[in-house]
Structure 1
Amino acid sequence: MSRDERAGRAGQPHDYVVVGAGSAGAALAGRLSADPSVSVLLLEAGPRDTKTEIHIPAAFSKLFRSEVDWDYDTEPQEHLGGRRVFWPRGRVLGGCSSVNAMMWVRGFPEDYDAWGEAAGAGWSWAGLLPYFERVERVAPAVVRDNDDATGRDGTVHVDDQRSPSPHTRAYLTAAEQVGLSVVPGNGRDQRGFSRTQVSQHRGSRFSTADAYLKPARKRPNLTVVTDAQATRVVFDGTRAVGVEYARGGVTRVAQARREVVLSGGAVNTPQLLMLSGVGDRAELDGLGIPVVVHSPEVGKNLRDHLMAVLAVEASEGTLFLAEKPRELAAYLARRRGMLTSNVGEAYGFVSTDPSVDLPDVELIFAPVGFIGEGLIAHDGHAITLGAILVQPESTGTISLASADPLDKPLIDPRYLSDPEGKDRAALLAGLGVCEELLVTPALRAVTNGAFVQPAGGEELTRAQRDEVALVDHAHTLYHPVGTARMGSDAGSVVDEKLRVRGVTGLRVADASVMPTIIRGHTNAPAIVIGEKAADLLLGVDAAGHRVASARMGV
């Protein structure tokens, strides 16, 4: 179908209008459109996923600050030396699943049980496990290179890495040498270290555009319109009846007969809610935006995973050689070699406080010098060890810079701002574990002790080095959540069925609804949220059975 044909169909009323074709939105639209009795319009602000670097795993950081990135920066962070922190977010079919590091890390069941406490048993680990199992298509022991590269019935290929670095093996050995365990990824108890499972197929990225949209592209009841940035939800009183969007310099309105669903993520969803008059009355009044409903928690409760890294010079075998002709030939011919790497090849969960049973820090490993979020090249072999704060006490905000929908919102995660300093202490303790790993026989054998980040770190004490790594270089792990919090309490932005409180015909389905942040990576649960949202709209359970007394859209 041509772009003009898609635009023409977009002008017709649809049962559902979904805003955002990312991890959750693509899953939601794909599942909804599997029912031929409903029509779905999916609006995506960015382009189609044709950019070459999207599909080559090791090239993901080349997508940052490109035309497929929202290219955000935070407000200056007081506890990070006043720095602004770069926040890449996918602006393309597949959203962040098209630009991320493809790490498939579900998280801990206890974290989902906390969701269940906040929003009902359907959001607990037991309630969501069937959705994880439905979503994941785990690779067979032997993968045929001519296997179909599209999703089947809306499943995500979850593979083992094809060509992991020998330095990654050394890192896992180092973990054992300091007394930490090596465990299978995504097991019931993930305390320990694992080789990363990845959302790839035959050595290429496998995004939600691959899993859900490409298999559904010939369905006559699904219309996907790219380069269409939503500017506000259209209300008739307090009922959402459509979405206004800008495309090619022209403003249009997409009409929804049943419901509008926002799947723009933890930044764009609260931004669009506030632009549409759903937010804190005082803030909206100050910008001259007519208030539809006073919902003061919109844009609040922002949590994110902050990461600080140490990088040291290493022996050959790192991804420094990934763009050499030999590796390019291996990738093009057999989808093997360094270019299949997701960069974050291993990770582990540890508790830095012996009195705490569940981990508070994740450690991550990359067989390359990952400097400046991959935007700063290092001319030589290096490895990177990172510490990630997985249960931050600090919370931040997303707010509007103006009433202009094309202005970027203000992002203020307020990293390390918790009054008791627990976040800072935990992250420094995590860096301390990285330091211990670096001096193990396994990693000493592949490194020379010279620090790439912080540069000249070998001349500093451990404490000095870790302080510089944190204050001068810490950055996001790209997991913002919570800005349209889900809950059974009246103060939550959406209820347990993802309906926006105070209005009708409007739901949210993306990482912004997560009541708490998980010990894990947010791509997998965001996809699950999209899947569950589709079932809520269709009135079925995870097995596809009609829910008793359910009716469409309730």
Structure 2
Amino acid sequence: MEKVLVLLFLCFSGVLCKQYDVIVVGAGGSGSVVAAQLSANPRTKVLLLERGDDNSDLFNNVVFFWDAPIVGAGARINQLTSSNFYVNKLYSQEFNLNMRSLPTFTPITAGGGTSINGNAFGRYTADDMASWGMPGLTYEETINDWKAMERCVGDACNPAYHGTSGPIATRTIQPNSVLQQIMNVMPGIFGVPLNPDTNGPNATGIGLLPRNIDVIEGTTTLPSTETVLQQLHIDPKRLKEALPRSYSKFHKYQNHSNLVTGIPIRQDSWSRFVKPVLSRPNLTVKLGAKVLKLELKSNGKHDVVYEYQNNIYRDKAGKTVVLSAGVYSTPQLLMLSGIGPRAHLENLGIDVVVDNPHVGQNLQDSILTSAIYATPVAPAAPSPGSIVVGYYRSPTFTDEGTDMEVAIAAISGPPAPPTFVQLYLVQLTQLRHNAVGSLTLQTKNPNMPPLFSFNMYSTDEEVQPLVDQFKKIRLTMASSGIPFTEVSPGYTAVPLNATDAQITQYLKSVVNVEWHTVGTCSLGKVVDHRFRLIDGNGKVIPGVRIIDLSTVPKRGRSHGTSSGSMFLGMVGSRFIKEDLGL
């Protein structure tokens, strides 16, 4: 009570209560873009609140599949985010996977997921966006928003689809000779053609995955095979035992340098959109600010209550609040503010302000697993950062577009003593499937993480597309003309003659979500086609927008979430300018 009285006194004196035109909650992929775009008008007063700090000096030089020896789901989160300082670790409970807890997280850092992701920069396709069914949100209607964001470098930069002067540098990197041989056999095995630009309107085919990285002058040391094995928790003895004796004939040729030309620089939303404009007098940024709730007002000028530097603040948004806290935190914040399913909120003793049963529903993510292969063959020249990718349809998929993705990349430097092999990662992904989960509150305590489940694999039949992909990858590596040995899972864990049932059980024991999560505040259910908050009957609640990946109603192509979050920021900020005259 004493804190409340102090807050009221300081509000009346104007110390802890200020008014802005726009308050943006979350400086992640979307929120950073929104704040930068709206504050470009010097008459628009913007407050950007972010729970994390600016860690760009730490993360900008961490580029996966180039200089970062961090690969695989477990290794990546444990190494890069070794403490809760950078992420809030969350765990889903999956009843259909023998009650396995799948690890995921919400980034606690400026830039959000764009600051710590794998630097892949896929793009929502025309089919993806058509499936949303929202006017004004088609591929054709938003292509200029994408082009304004992108600075495409290289050959796959058709100006009809790509921008060349935006803040985010993107590029496709040509494969090394080993990856090229793999790429050559993939069309025949996966039944799709080569695609010179997988970031065009149609992603279907075998091609190269664009990266959101810039490259500056200098040199980089690629991670050694031994370093990568350590990150993957693979005993080098296990690798040695798995390698055929025939590999020894390559040893006298294997002493290549791990030094390559070029220093990669991550292109995240915070570094590319907000940091260059921090000096704007109409932009206030508060890092380390934890938003506790919204207080909706009948006049549409809502209050945002947050904790910052041991004080509680209540600031007012005169035009609109923009929630960009992410797939987990945005629905959590809505429900803590009394916006969500009536019965759930009442059970927790939260006053219902807006009844909308769809808040927290429709939780979706892709399902993935991976394999590691080793070869003694050195590429003609290293090509760090290159990722071969394939998008195709499984036989049972009935929607438009593709439902499967495979990605292959070198994850260590060329063969050298003492292991004399180079490692390649194969990521197998089921992009679209029937699993739809949900998210709820544990308590009304904002410091407690939400409860959620992805509801993965209710039947073994749903695993079959991934089983088929697993077999196709083994065929691909065997047909490439390159001597490969499967290090993980290996032929002991999954024999070459394993039945589909055996592969299914193996996959159910190892699959995870891809951390490309969407859907908990979906378009048409929680927001309208202009990202305006709506109630359960579709009525617009003036003064609140949600602009982040929680609004995406369907999983699309893989690796479209980092780019997608920034893209939504571009589109959403344009809508706000148009609707409110900012």
Native 8 Å contact 1:102 1:199 kept in 2: yes
Q: Is the 8 A contact 1:31 1:154 kept in 2?
A: no
Once residues 238 and 65 of structure 1 are traced to their aligned partners in structure 2, the CA distance between those partners, rounded to angstroms, is 45
For 2:100, what is the secondary structure of its paired residue?
A: coil
- Give yes or no for contact 2:151–2:165 (8 Å, CA) kept in 1: no
**TM alignment of 1:205-216, pairs within 5 A:** 205-216=266-277
- Quote how far apart the aligned CAs of 1:165 are: 5.1
| Equivalent residues, number | 489
Residues 124-148 of structure 1 deviation map (CA, whole Å, 9 limit, x = unaligned)? 1111212111211112579xxxxxx
Runs of 4+ in 1 over 6 A off after TM superposition: none
**Mapped pair 1:482 → 2:519:** yes
| CA distance 1:312–1:260, change in 2 (3 Å) | same
Which residue type is aligned with residue 353 of structure 1?
P
The offset of 1:451, in angstroms, is 3.6
Separation in 1, partners of 2:411, 2:506: 17
Offset at residue 314 of structure 1 (A): 3.2
CA deviation after TM superposition for structure 1 residue 452, in Å:
4.0
Structure 1 counterpart SS, 2:346: helix
Identity level (%): 23
Amino acid at match of 1:352: S
Match of 1:461, SS state, is coil
| Matched residue type, 2:94 | Q
Pick closer, same or farther for the CA change 1:140–1:189 going to 2, 3 Å: closer
The answer to whether the Cα contact below 8 Å between 2:52 and 2:109 also exists between their aligned partners in 1 is: yes
- Rounded to whole Å, the distance in 2 between the matches of 1:380 and 1:360 is 33
For residues 413 and 194 of structure 1, what CA distance do their matches in structure 2 show?
Answer: 30
CA deviation digits over 1:482-537, x for unaligned, max 9?
111112xxxx1111111111432111001111122212321222212111111111
Equivalent of 2:508 in 448, 453, 471? 471
Q: Following superposition of structure 1 onto structure 2, how do residues 182-261 of structure 1 map, counting pairs within 5 Å? A: 182-184=194-196, 185-202=198-215, 203-237=264-298, 239=300, 241-261=302-322
1:341 aligns with 2:385: yes
**Larger deviation, residues 168-177 vs 278-287:** 168-177
Distance 1:305 1:132, change over 3 A: same
| Distance across 2 between alignment mates of 1:286 and 1:454 | 51
Say if 2:95 is the partner of 1:73: no
Partner of 1:448: 485
- Say yes or no: does 1:410 pair with 2:441: no
The answer to whether the Cα contact below 8 Å between 1:313 and 1:381 also exists between their aligned partners in 2 is yes
CA distance in 2 between partners of 1:381 and 1:315 (Å): 6
2:430 maps to what in 1?
389
Return the alpha-carbon distance in structure 2 between the equivalents of residues 379 and 43 of structure 1.
Answer: 50
Structure-1 separation of matches of 2:423 and 2:480: 17
Q: Which has the larger Rg?
A: 2
Which whole-Å deviations, capped at 9, do the CAs of 1:214-258 have from their partners, x for residues lacking one?
Answer: 221111111111111111112225845121112344322232121
Per the alignment, residue 185 of structure 2 pairs with: 174
Contact 2:376 2:421 in 1 (8 A): no
Aligned residue in 2 for 1:22: 28
Residues 371, 487 of structure 2: 8 Å contact kept: no
For residues 99-155 of structure 1, the C-alpha deviation after alignment (integer angstroms, 9 at most, x for no partner) is 11111111321111122x2x21x111111212111211112579xxxxxxxx99862
2:142 matched to 1:128? yes
Aligned counterpart for 2:566 among listed residues 527, 537, 554: 527
SS in 1 for 2:87: coil
Alignment equivalent of 1:56, drawn from 34, 38, 62? 62
- Which residue identity is paired with 2:370? V
In the TM superposition, residue 382 of structure 1 has moved relative to its aligned partner by: 3.2
CA distance in 2, matches of 1:309, 1:175: 17
Which whole-Å CA distance do the structure 2 matches of 1:248 and 1:466 have between them? 52
| Deviation of 1:399 (Å) | 1.1
For residue 83 of structure 1, report the CA deviation from its aligned partner: 1.1
How far off is 1:296 after superposition? 0.5
Corresponding position of 1:367: 410
Asked if the contact 1:73/1:411 (under 8 Å) is kept, the reply is no
Residues in 2 aligned to 1:254 and 1:505: alpha-carbon distance in whole angstroms: 14
Give the secondary structure class of the aligned counterpart of 2:362: coil
Alpha-carbon distance in 2 for matches of 1:65, 1:124 = 39
Q: Contact 1:284–1:290 at 8 Å: present in 2 too?
A: yes
- The SS at the match of 1:224 is strand
Q: Residues 312 and 33 from structure 1, CA distance in 2 versus in 1: closer, same or farther, beyond 3 angstroms? A: same
What letter is aligned with 2:274?
L
Matches within 5 A, 1:84-103: 84-103=101-120
Higher mean C-alpha displacement, 473-482 vs 384-393: 384-393
Superposition map of 1:3-22 within 5 A: 12-22=18-28
1:429 aligns with 2:468: yes
How far apart, in 2, do the equivalents of 1:37 and 1:68 lie? 35
Partner of 1:495: 528
Listed one character per residue, the Cα deviations across residues 10-58 of structure 1 (whole Å, up to 9, x for unaligned) are 8532110001111111111110011111011111111112352443202
Which is further off, 447-456 or 392-401? 447-456
Q: 1:69 to 1:389 in 2, by over 3 A?
A: farther
SS at match of 1:37: coil
Per-residue deviation, 1:9:
9.8
Alignment of 1:126-165 (within 5 A): 126-139=140-153, 155-161=167-173
Q: Is 1:288–2:305 an aligned residue pair?
A: no
Aligned to 1:5: none
Sort the Cα spacing of 1:40 and 1:154 in 2 relative to 1 into closer, same or farther, 3 A.
farther
What is the alpha-carbon distance in structure 2 between the residues aligned to residue 182 and residue 281 of structure 1? 50
Q: Is the contact between residue 233 and residue 240 of structure 1 (CA under 8 Å) also seen in structure 2?
A: no
- Per-residue deviation, 1:89: 3.1
Give secondary structure in 2 for the equivalent of 1:310: strand
Aligned to 1:3: none
Q: Distance in 2 between matches of 1:412 and 1:380?
A: 40
Alpha-carbon deviations, 1:324-355, whole Å to 9, x = none? xxxxxxxxxxxx978x638xx22111112177
* Structure-2 separation of matches of 1:90 and 1:411: 17
CA distance in 2, matches of 1:454, 1:22: 41
Cross-structure match for 1:148:
none
